[in-house]
């Protein structure tokens, strides 16, 4: 896995909780200063291959200005979009577009202008996610950016918008002793005047950075190879393309369930699907996930199968 480059520039600071950092930001604002420097130390240049000065144990708080867990499945910063008036296939493939784990591993979706077209069988092959590794200095810089310039440090839980059926942008922050989920409805580059205008502009600045994390593909990263997929199965009307025969003798329709479904709501029956089970579909290029795989199930009905990669912290 490549180390993220070019290096990010951060300040070495004494240990602070998020609350202390936020207080420092507020004090700086009152004094008219541009940014806080609790330690007063000058910025240091971080090499992308440099190791942390202390080797933290897994899942423990790490050294630095902003403490965080260091486990491979500990989410310390994440963004995703959800809700709104969108096609059912979008709901089935909804996933975080950026996740930073405590060990520095980043998994993200590249910003694209053109989405993939369906193949001759009507199957859409989703663009594979990417992954890279940040060192501790780069983790600190990114968390500091999210908390200060991205305004997550002072954000409340929910920001309602005034656009009906607009999707919501959801940030997750677990650092500095704070666990926070911030939901912003209708976040966009153009911010309407109002009491939340400055906060929304800051949220969009953070979203723009995370949604183009590898800067148009100019930063080294690898294809993310998922250990499993979420397979969502929904009954469909007969399709123009020929349905594939059910490929899994040991898997029943009843194995696809939606434990979170509510009466009258949308149901997305799903199960964890292994790469070997996906291979049984006899469809190439599935690393990034698949949409509109048409299957004829043992009950004789036609179903559409959607597959999307699972992240290491996601449990079915």
Q: How confident is the model at residue 278 (pLDDT cuts 50, 70, 90)?
A: very high
Q: How confident is the model at residue 26 (pLDDT cuts 50, 70, 90)?
A: very low
Q: Is residue 191 exposed (0-12), middle (13-18) or buried (19+ Cβ within 10 Å)?
A: middle
Read off the pLDDT of residues 230-273 as tens digits, 9 standing for 90 and up: 999 999 888 778 899 999 999 999 999 998 887 777 789 999 99
Cα–Cα distance measured from residue 287 to residue 279, given in angstroms and rounded to the nearest whole number: 10
Q: What is the pLDDT of residue 88?
A: 65
| Predicted TM-score of the model (pTM) | 0.79
DSSP label at 186?
Answer: T
Identify which of 241, 234, 239 has the alpha carbon closest to the alpha carbon of residue 119. Answer: 241
């Amino acid at each position: 896995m490549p180390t993220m480059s070019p290096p990010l520039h951060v300040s070495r600071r004494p240990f602070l909780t998020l609350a202390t950092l936020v207080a420092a930001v507020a004090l700086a604002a009152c004094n008219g200063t541009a940014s806080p420097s609790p330690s007063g130390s000058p910025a240091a240049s971080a090499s992308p291959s440099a190791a942390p000065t202390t080797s933290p144990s897994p899942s423990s708080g790490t050294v630095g200005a902003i403490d965080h867990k260091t486990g491979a499945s500990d989410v310390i910063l994440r963004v995703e979009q959800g809700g709104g008036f969108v096609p059912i296939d979008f709901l089935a493939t909804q996933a975080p577009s950026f996740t930073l784990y405590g060990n520095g591993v980043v998994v993200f979706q590249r910003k694209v202008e053109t989405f993939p077209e369906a193949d001759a069988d009507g199957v859409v092959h989703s663009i594979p996610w990417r992954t890279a590794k940040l060192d501790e200095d780069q983790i600190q810089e990114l968390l500091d950016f999210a908390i200060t310039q991205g305004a997550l440090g002072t954000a409340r839980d929910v920001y309602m918008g005034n656009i009906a059926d607009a999707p919501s942008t959801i940030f997750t922050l677990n650092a500095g002793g704070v666990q926070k989920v911030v939901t912003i409805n209708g976040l966009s580059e153009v911010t309407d005047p109002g009491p939340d205008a400055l906060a929304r502009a800051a949220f969009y600045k953070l979203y723009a950075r995370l949604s183009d994390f590898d800067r148009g593909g100019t930063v080294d990263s690898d294809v993310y190879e998922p250990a499993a997929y979420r397979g969502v199965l929904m009954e469909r009307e007969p399709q123009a393309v020929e349905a594939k025969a059910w490929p899994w003798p040991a898997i029943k329709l009843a194995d696809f369930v939606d434990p979170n479904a509510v009466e009258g709501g949308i149901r997305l029956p799903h199960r964890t699907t292994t790469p070997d089970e996906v291979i049984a579909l006899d469809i190439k290029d599935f690393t990034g996930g698949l949409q509109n795989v048409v299957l004829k199930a043992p009950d004789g009905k036609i179903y559409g199968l959607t597959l999307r990669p699972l992240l290491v912290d996601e449990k079915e």
